Structure 1
Amino acid sequence: MDINGELMIVSKLLVSFLLGAFIGFDRERHGRDAGIRTYAAVCIGATLFTAITSHLVNNPADTSRVIANIITGVGFLGAGIIYRNSSAGTSHGLTTAATVWCTSAVGVAVGLDMYIIAIVAALALYFLLSLHHQKWYIKWKQKMAHHHDTENEND
Protein backbone atom coordinates (compact mmCIF):
# COMPACT_ATOMS: atom_id res chain seq x y z
CA MET A 1 0.00 0.00 0.00
CA ASP A 2 1.37 3.41 -0.89
CA ILE A 3 1.26 6.57 1.19
CA ASN A 4 -1.87 7.80 -0.63
CA GLY A 5 -3.73 4.64 0.35
CA GLU A 6 -2.65 5.05 3.94
CA LEU A 7 -3.67 8.71 3.99
CA MET A 8 -7.06 7.71 2.62
CA ILE A 9 -7.51 5.25 5.50
CA VAL A 10 -6.40 7.93 7.97
CA SER A 11 -9.06 10.30 6.60
CA LYS A 12 -11.65 7.53 6.99
CA LEU A 13 -10.54 7.06 10.59
CA LEU A 14 -11.01 10.76 11.27
CA VAL A 15 -14.52 10.70 9.80
CA SER A 16 -15.26 7.55 11.77
CA PHE A 17 -13.98 9.16 14.98
CA LEU A 18 -16.22 12.20 14.47
CA LEU A 19 -19.32 10.13 13.72
CA GLY A 20 -18.73 7.72 16.61
CA ALA A 21 -18.06 10.57 19.04
CA PHE A 22 -21.20 12.34 17.81
CA ILE A 23 -23.30 9.23 18.44
CA GLY A 24 -21.84 8.82 21.94
CA PHE A 25 -22.18 12.50 22.86
CA ASP A 26 -25.72 12.27 24.24
CA ARG A 27 -24.79 9.24 26.34
CA GLU A 28 -21.72 11.01 27.71
CA ARG A 29 -23.67 14.17 28.45
CA HIS A 30 -26.12 12.20 30.60
CA GLY A 31 -23.48 10.22 32.48
CA ARG A 32 -23.88 6.81 30.84
CA ASP A 33 -21.04 4.31 31.04
CA ALA A 34 -20.80 3.96 27.26
CA GLY A 35 -20.18 7.43 25.87
CA ILE A 36 -17.96 9.23 23.42
CA ARG A 37 -14.94 6.96 23.95
CA THR A 38 -16.87 3.71 23.57
CA TYR A 39 -18.86 4.74 20.52
CA ALA A 40 -15.87 6.37 18.81
CA ALA A 41 -13.68 3.33 19.47
CA VAL A 42 -16.25 0.92 18.05
CA CYS A 43 -16.73 3.08 14.97
CA ILE A 44 -12.99 3.53 14.41
CA GLY A 45 -12.30 -0.18 14.88
CA ALA A 46 -14.97 -1.19 12.39
CA THR A 47 -13.67 1.35 9.89
CA LEU A 48 -10.07 0.26 10.33
CA PHE A 49 -10.77 -3.45 9.88
CA THR A 50 -12.99 -2.79 6.86
CA ALA A 51 -10.70 -0.28 5.16
CA ILE A 52 -7.54 -2.33 5.61
CA THR A 53 -9.21 -5.48 4.35
CA SER A 54 -10.76 -3.76 1.34
CA HIS A 55 -7.36 -2.30 0.40
CA LEU A 56 -5.27 -5.41 0.93
CA VAL A 57 -7.28 -8.03 -0.87
CA ASN A 58 -8.92 -8.27 -4.24
CA ASN A 59 -11.44 -10.88 -3.11
CA PRO A 60 -14.77 -9.34 -1.99
CA ALA A 61 -15.45 -12.54 -0.04
CA ASP A 62 -12.53 -11.71 2.27
CA THR A 63 -13.97 -8.25 2.98
CA SER A 64 -17.40 -9.73 3.64
CA ARG A 65 -15.89 -12.25 6.07
CA VAL A 66 -14.21 -9.44 8.00
CA ILE A 67 -17.48 -7.50 8.11
CA ALA A 68 -19.32 -10.61 9.31
CA ASN A 69 -16.79 -11.00 12.10
CA ILE A 70 -17.14 -7.33 13.08
CA ILE A 71 -20.89 -7.92 13.39
CA THR A 72 -20.30 -11.00 15.53
CA GLY A 73 -17.57 -9.43 17.65
CA VAL A 74 -19.49 -6.28 18.45
CA GLY A 75 -22.59 -8.40 19.07
CA PHE A 76 -20.54 -10.27 21.68
CA LEU A 77 -19.51 -6.94 23.19
CA GLY A 78 -23.19 -5.98 23.30
CA ALA A 79 -24.06 -9.21 25.08
CA GLY A 80 -21.59 -8.22 27.77
CA ILE A 81 -23.26 -4.82 28.10
CA ILE A 82 -26.72 -6.29 28.70
CA TYR A 83 -27.47 -7.57 32.17
CA ARG A 84 -30.63 -8.82 33.76
CA ASN A 85 -31.72 -8.01 37.28
CA SER A 86 -33.51 -11.24 38.11
CA SER A 87 -34.87 -9.96 41.42
CA ALA A 88 -36.58 -6.99 39.74
CA GLY A 89 -37.28 -8.82 36.49
CA THR A 90 -35.73 -6.06 34.39
CA SER A 91 -33.01 -5.88 31.76
CA HIS A 92 -30.54 -3.04 31.39
CA GLY A 93 -28.20 -2.08 28.60
CA LEU A 94 -30.36 -3.10 25.65
CA THR A 95 -30.29 0.33 24.02
CA THR A 96 -26.56 0.71 24.61
CA ALA A 97 -25.86 -2.73 23.17
CA ALA A 98 -28.05 -2.10 20.12
CA THR A 99 -26.59 1.33 19.39
CA VAL A 100 -22.99 0.19 19.90
CA TRP A 101 -23.70 -2.61 17.42
CA CYS A 102 -25.24 -0.12 14.95
CA THR A 103 -22.28 2.22 15.43
CA SER A 104 -20.03 -0.54 14.15
CA ALA A 105 -22.15 -0.55 10.99
CA VAL A 106 -21.51 3.19 10.65
CA GLY A 107 -17.80 2.41 10.84
CA VAL A 108 -18.12 -0.30 8.19
CA ALA A 109 -19.97 2.16 5.93
CA VAL A 110 -17.12 4.68 6.29
CA GLY A 111 -14.59 1.94 5.62
CA LEU A 112 -16.43 1.13 2.37
CA ASP A 113 -16.64 4.82 1.28
CA MET A 114 -20.40 5.06 1.95
CA TYR A 115 -20.17 8.44 3.65
CA ILE A 116 -23.75 9.63 3.10
CA ILE A 117 -25.13 6.38 4.49
CA ALA A 118 -22.77 6.64 7.48
CA ILE A 119 -23.79 10.25 8.22
CA VAL A 120 -27.52 9.53 7.94
CA ALA A 121 -27.16 6.45 10.17
CA ALA A 122 -25.17 8.45 12.76
CA LEU A 123 -27.87 11.15 12.79
CA ALA A 124 -30.58 8.52 13.20
CA LEU A 125 -28.70 6.86 16.07
CA TYR A 126 -28.16 10.17 17.83
CA PHE A 127 -31.86 10.94 17.46
CA LEU A 128 -32.77 7.55 18.94
CA LEU A 129 -30.40 8.01 21.86
CA SER A 130 -31.72 11.49 22.61
CA LEU A 131 -35.41 10.48 22.52
CA HIS A 132 -35.66 9.77 26.24
CA HIS A 133 -34.89 13.45 26.89
CA GLN A 134 -37.59 14.76 24.55
CA LYS A 135 -40.74 15.93 26.34
CA TRP A 136 -43.08 14.75 23.59
CA TYR A 137 -41.54 11.27 23.70
CA ILE A 138 -41.75 11.08 27.49
CA LYS A 139 -45.45 12.03 27.37
CA TRP A 140 -46.14 9.53 24.60
CA LYS A 141 -44.33 6.77 26.47
CA GLN A 142 -46.27 7.51 29.67
CA LYS A 143 -49.52 7.46 27.70
CA MET A 144 -48.60 4.09 26.19
CA ALA A 145 -47.69 2.69 29.63
CA HIS A 146 -50.99 3.92 31.06
CA HIS A 147 -52.85 2.37 28.12
CA HIS A 148 -50.99 -0.92 28.69
CA ASP A 149 -51.81 -0.86 32.43
CA THR A 150 -55.49 -0.22 31.66
CA GLU A 151 -55.59 -3.16 29.28
CA ASN A 152 -54.00 -5.45 31.89
CA GLU A 153 -56.59 -4.41 34.49
CA ASN A 154 -59.39 -5.38 32.10
CA ASP A 155 -57.99 -8.88 31.53
Structure 2
Amino acid sequence: MNAWWHEVWQKVQGEFADLDDAANLTQLFIRLVVALVLGGVLGFEREMAGRDAGMRTHMMVSVGSALFVLVPLQAGFSQDNLSRVLQGLVSGIGFLGAGAIMKLSAEREVRGLTTAASLWVAAGLGMAAGMGRETTAILSLAIALLILSGARLFRKNAPPDEDKSS
Protein backbone atom coordinates (compact mmCIF):
# COMPACT_ATOMS: atom_id res chain seq x y z
CA MET A 1 0.00 0.00 0.00
CA ASN A 2 2.86 2.40 0.79
CA ALA A 3 4.30 1.99 -2.73
CA TRP A 4 0.90 2.78 -4.19
CA TRP A 5 0.66 6.10 -2.28
CA HIS A 6 4.21 6.96 -3.31
CA GLU A 7 3.29 6.39 -6.96
CA VAL A 8 0.13 8.49 -6.58
CA TRP A 9 2.10 11.29 -4.90
CA GLN A 10 4.71 11.27 -7.71
CA LYS A 11 1.93 11.52 -10.29
CA VAL A 12 0.36 14.45 -8.41
CA GLN A 13 3.73 16.22 -8.25
CA GLY A 14 4.22 15.62 -11.97
CA GLU A 15 0.86 17.19 -12.75
CA PHE A 16 1.89 20.39 -10.96
CA ALA A 17 5.40 20.53 -12.41
CA ASP A 18 4.63 23.13 -15.07
CA LEU A 19 6.09 25.80 -12.77
CA ASP A 20 9.24 24.10 -11.66
CA ASP A 21 11.08 27.05 -10.12
CA ALA A 22 10.47 30.37 -8.37
CA ALA A 23 11.47 32.41 -11.43
CA ASN A 24 8.78 30.82 -13.63
CA LEU A 25 6.18 31.14 -10.91
CA THR A 26 7.07 34.81 -10.36
CA GLN A 27 6.94 35.55 -14.09
CA LEU A 28 3.53 33.90 -14.43
CA PHE A 29 2.22 35.72 -11.36
CA ILE A 30 3.45 39.13 -12.56
CA ARG A 31 1.96 38.71 -16.03
CA LEU A 32 -1.42 37.59 -14.73
CA VAL A 33 -1.56 40.36 -12.10
CA VAL A 34 -0.61 43.00 -14.67
CA ALA A 35 -3.41 41.72 -16.93
CA LEU A 36 -5.82 41.75 -13.98
CA VAL A 37 -4.94 45.30 -12.91
CA LEU A 38 -4.97 46.78 -16.42
CA GLY A 39 -8.28 45.11 -17.27
CA GLY A 40 -9.63 46.34 -13.94
CA VAL A 41 -8.62 49.93 -14.61
CA LEU A 42 -10.27 49.87 -18.04
CA GLY A 43 -13.36 48.21 -16.61
CA PHE A 44 -13.53 50.74 -13.77
CA GLU A 45 -13.66 53.54 -16.34
CA ARG A 46 -16.53 51.77 -18.13
CA GLU A 47 -18.31 51.18 -14.83
CA MET A 48 -17.99 54.86 -13.87
CA ALA A 49 -19.46 55.73 -17.27
CA GLY A 50 -22.49 53.62 -16.35
CA ARG A 51 -21.87 50.81 -18.83
CA ASP A 52 -22.99 47.22 -18.33
CA ALA A 53 -19.60 45.58 -18.91
CA GLY A 54 -17.63 46.89 -15.98
CA MET A 55 -14.61 46.07 -13.91
CA ARG A 56 -15.17 42.35 -13.37
CA THR A 57 -15.95 41.68 -17.02
CA HIS A 58 -12.89 43.54 -18.26
CA MET A 59 -10.70 41.85 -15.67
CA MET A 60 -11.93 38.42 -16.73
CA VAL A 61 -11.36 39.18 -20.41
CA SER A 62 -7.87 40.50 -19.74
CA VAL A 63 -6.80 37.65 -17.46
CA GLY A 64 -8.36 35.07 -19.79
CA SER A 65 -6.47 36.52 -22.73
CA ALA A 66 -3.22 36.46 -20.77
CA LEU A 67 -3.87 32.84 -19.88
CA PHE A 68 -4.51 31.91 -23.51
CA VAL A 69 -1.10 33.37 -24.34
CA LEU A 70 0.81 32.07 -21.31
CA VAL A 71 -0.12 28.41 -21.67
CA PRO A 72 1.14 28.08 -25.27
CA LEU A 73 4.30 29.99 -24.32
CA GLN A 74 4.88 27.61 -21.41
CA ALA A 75 4.23 24.63 -23.66
CA GLY A 76 6.87 25.86 -26.11
CA PHE A 77 4.54 26.49 -29.04
CA SER A 78 6.20 27.70 -32.21
CA GLN A 79 5.55 31.24 -33.42
CA ASP A 80 3.21 29.86 -36.11
CA ASN A 81 1.15 27.93 -33.55
CA LEU A 82 1.09 30.88 -31.16
CA SER A 83 -0.07 33.07 -34.03
CA ARG A 84 -3.04 30.75 -34.59
CA VAL A 85 -3.91 30.93 -30.88
CA LEU A 86 -3.85 34.73 -31.04
CA GLN A 87 -6.01 34.75 -34.18
CA GLY A 88 -8.60 32.56 -32.47
CA LEU A 89 -8.52 34.73 -29.37
CA VAL A 90 -9.09 37.93 -31.31
CA SER A 91 -12.00 36.34 -33.20
CA GLY A 92 -13.52 34.96 -30.01
CA ILE A 93 -13.37 38.32 -28.28
CA GLY A 94 -15.15 39.78 -31.30
CA PHE A 95 -18.08 37.48 -30.59
CA LEU A 96 -18.06 38.49 -26.92
CA GLY A 97 -18.08 42.14 -27.96
CA ALA A 98 -20.96 41.51 -30.33
CA GLY A 99 -23.00 40.44 -27.33
CA ALA A 100 -22.45 43.86 -25.80
CA ILE A 101 -23.92 45.64 -28.84
CA MET A 102 -27.66 46.26 -28.95
CA LYS A 103 -29.73 47.66 -31.78
CA LEU A 104 -32.59 49.62 -30.29
CA SER A 105 -35.92 50.26 -31.93
CA ALA A 106 -34.99 53.76 -33.05
CA GLU A 107 -33.82 53.84 -36.66
CA ARG A 108 -30.14 54.63 -36.09
CA GLU A 109 -29.72 53.94 -32.38
CA VAL A 110 -27.05 51.37 -31.58
CA ARG A 111 -25.62 50.99 -28.08
CA GLY A 112 -22.59 49.17 -26.76
CA LEU A 113 -20.08 49.75 -29.54
CA THR A 114 -17.60 51.50 -27.25
CA THR A 115 -18.02 48.84 -24.58
CA ALA A 116 -17.44 46.13 -27.20
CA ALA A 117 -14.32 47.96 -28.32
CA SER A 118 -13.12 48.29 -24.73
CA LEU A 119 -13.55 44.53 -24.25
CA TRP A 120 -11.43 44.02 -27.35
CA VAL A 121 -8.79 46.37 -25.90
CA ALA A 122 -8.95 44.47 -22.58
CA ALA A 123 -8.15 41.30 -24.50
CA GLY A 124 -5.23 43.06 -26.17
CA LEU A 125 -3.97 44.25 -22.79
CA GLY A 126 -4.12 40.69 -21.50
CA MET A 127 -2.35 39.33 -24.57
CA ALA A 128 0.42 41.92 -24.24
CA ALA A 129 0.85 41.22 -20.52
CA GLY A 130 0.79 37.48 -21.12
CA MET A 131 3.57 37.79 -23.68
CA GLY A 132 5.71 39.81 -21.29
CA ARG A 133 5.04 43.14 -22.99
CA GLU A 134 3.90 44.89 -19.82
CA THR A 135 5.14 48.34 -20.85
CA THR A 136 3.28 48.06 -24.16
CA ALA A 137 0.16 47.04 -22.27
CA ILE A 138 0.43 49.96 -19.83
CA LEU A 139 0.99 52.47 -22.63
CA SER A 140 -1.96 51.00 -24.54
CA LEU A 141 -4.18 51.35 -21.47
CA ALA A 142 -3.15 55.00 -21.09
CA ILE A 143 -4.08 55.66 -24.72
CA ALA A 144 -7.42 53.83 -24.35
CA LEU A 145 -8.27 55.86 -21.24
CA LEU A 146 -7.31 59.05 -23.06
CA ILE A 147 -9.64 58.11 -25.91
CA LEU A 148 -12.53 57.28 -23.60
CA SER A 149 -12.23 60.33 -21.35
CA GLY A 150 -11.18 62.70 -24.13
CA ALA A 151 -14.14 61.77 -26.29
CA ARG A 152 -16.49 62.24 -23.34
CA LEU A 153 -15.07 65.72 -22.63
CA PHE A 154 -15.23 66.66 -26.30
CA ARG A 155 -18.84 65.55 -26.57
CA LYS A 156 -19.77 67.43 -23.39
CA ASN A 157 -18.31 70.68 -24.82
CA ALA A 158 -19.64 70.17 -28.36
CA PRO A 159 -22.58 72.25 -29.56
CA PRO A 160 -25.94 70.44 -29.34
CA ASP A 161 -27.17 68.57 -32.41
CA GLU A 162 -29.66 70.33 -34.63
CA ASP A 163 -33.19 69.03 -34.84
CA LYS A 164 -32.93 65.77 -36.78
CA SER A 165 -36.55 65.85 -37.95
CA SER A 166 -35.83 68.35 -40.71
Structure-to-structure mapping, 1:29-48, within 5 angstroms = 29-48=48-67
SS in structure 2 at match of 1:34: coil
Instruction: Report the TM-score when normalising by structure 2.
Output: 0.79
Pairing 1:10-29 to 2, within 5 Å after superposition: 10-29=29-48
Which blocks of at least 5 consecutive residues in structure 1 are unaligned?
Answer: none
**Contact 1:20–1:36, Cα closer than 8 Å, also in 2:** yes
**Residues of 2 paired with 1:18 and 1:38: CA distance?**
12
Q: State the AA in 1 paired with 2:55.
A: I
| Structure-2 residue corresponding to 1:139 | 157
Q: Taking structure 1 as the reference length, what is the TM-score of the superposition?
A: 0.84
Alignment of 1:64-79 (within 5 A): 64-79=83-98
CA RMSD across the alignment: 2.2
Task: State percent identity of aligned pairs.
Answer: 32
Q: How does 1:110-149 map to 2 (within 5 A)?
A: 110-131=129-150, 133-134=152-153, 136-140=154-158, 142=159, 145-146=161-162
Aligned residues: 147
Q: Is 1:83 aligned to residue 105 of structure 2?
A: no
Given that residues 65 and 89 in structure 2 are in contact (C-alpha distance below 8 angstroms), is that contact kept between their aligned partners in structure 1?
A: yes
Q: Deviations over 1:76-107 (max 9, x none)?
A: 00111111013443111000001111110111
Which structure shows the bigger proportion of residues in helix conformation?
A: 1
Structure 2: runs of 5+ lacking an equivalent: 1-17
